[in-house]
Amino acid sequence: MQDFSTRSQLRLMAIPRLAAAGRWRVEAMRALSEPCFLWFTKGQGRVTVQGVTRGYTAHNAIFIPKGVMHGFEAGPNVFGTAVFFGRDCDLTLPSAPLHLRIREVHAQQELNVLLDSIGRELTSDVPAHDRATQHYLGLLGVWLERQAAKAEPEAARPDATQRLVNRYTALLERDFRSGMGVADFAAALGVTPTHLTRCCKAACGRPASTLLQDRRIFEARRLLAETRIPVGHIAASLGFTSAAYFTRAFQHLTGKSPTAFRRAP
């Protein structure tokens, strides 16, 4: 089974394939160690980036820098392409997340041609195919920059609620293994747990505690699926006070015990 959160090489994947090993692979909160670009060509759903949930539909382009917490719905009628740039990517790419609604047919076609060209060069063995791939990726970066500039005049600036939730998810991604609870995160942000939870519900429809638990359990599922680390060690590495508490929390969220999840095909 592939580990989409730690692989470091450039790759293109059809969005339906991302969820082939379970919808948790795309829907649960996580952050990648590499930039990611999502291009939806059919279907609709919701995407959560930095704790803020928005709807997406066909011809939406979403760029997620490395280290930014996110998750998105990928139902059976959703199609498109995901680009994972690799941990060693040195391209000029946006430093902040983007959610672009591409209305111009020419811009849609331009992006489709770029993605087709990248995919073709990636699987080619002709001379200089690796250099050609990098050039096409550079053009993808240019396309993103230009589309972001077009969208700036109509883009709404984050309000105080969104800014707080952005800060919370960044801190959560850094410290979710520490055993800190919502009250600890709220104190670090200088707000009350009640206020933090209220802002999270307004931004993404979920309380702060759910975002925290979702992130921890995603990492637990990933470790159970991709490694042979003992369950007790996984629990300790994610800040759970005991293996029994970890098992209860895991089963409550997934419907399976950690051992049963690991044994499942």
Q: What is the structure's pLDDT at 23?
A: 86
CATH architecture of 11-154: Sandwich (2.60)
Number of C-beta neighbours around residue 214 at 10 A: 22
What is the domain class of 161-263 according to CATH?
A: mainly alpha
**What pLDDT is attached to residue 7?**
45
Phi, psi dihedrals of residue 263, rounded to the nearest 5°? -80, -20
What pLDDT does 195 receive?
98
Span 86-115, average pLDDT: 96
- The proportion of the chain whose per-residue pLDDT surpasses 90, expressed as a percent, equals 89
- What's the pLDDT tens digit per position in 38-78? 999 999 999 999 999 999 999 999 999 999 999 999 988 99
Taking the domains of the chain in order of start, what are their residue ranges?
11-154, 161-263
Across 182-210, average pLDDT: 98
Confidence band for 154, pLDDT divided at 50, 70 and 90: low
Over residues 203-253, the pLDDT tens digits come to: 999 999 999 999 999 999 999 999 999 999 999 999 999 999 999 999 999
